[in-house]
A = this chain, B = another copy of it.
Amino acid sequence: MLERSMPPATPAARARTRKPYHHGDLRRALIDHAVTTIRRHGVDALTLRSAGSELGVSRTALYRHFADKAALLAAVAIEGFRMLRVELVAAWEAGGQGRPGFERMGAAYIRFAVRNPSHYRVMFGGFVDQRCADPELTRVAAEAFQALVDALQEQQRAGLVRADDPGQLALFVWAAVHGVAMLAIDGQLAAGAKNVDTLTAFAIERLRTGIAADQSRDATRRGRPSGRPDRRVTPNAASRRST
Residues on A facing B (Cβ under 8 Å):
42, 121, 124-126, 129-130, 164, 168-169, 171-172, 174-180, 182-183, 186-190, 195, 198-199, 202-203, 206-211, 216-217, 242-243
Contacts and interface: CB of A to CB of B under 8 A. Distances in A.
Contact of A183 (B125, B129, B171): B171
B202 A168 contact: yes
Contacts of A176: 172, 175-176, 179, 207
Contacts of A182: 124, 175, 178
A242 B195 contact: yes
Contact of A207 (B190, B210, B217): B210
Residue from A172, A178, A243 whose CB has the most chain B CB atoms within 10 Å:
A172
Contacts of A207: 176, 210
Given A195-B242, A199-B171, A187 B130 contact: yes
B174 A179 contact: yes
A92 B210 CA distance: 21
25 contacts: A121-B126, A124-B182, A125-B126, A126-B186, A168-B198, A168-B199, A169-B206, A171-B183, A171-B189, A172-B176, A172-B203, A172-B206, A174-B179, A175-B176, A175-B182, A178-B179, A178-B182, A188-B243, A190-B243, A195-B242, A207-B210, A209-B209, A210-B211, A216-B216, A216-B217
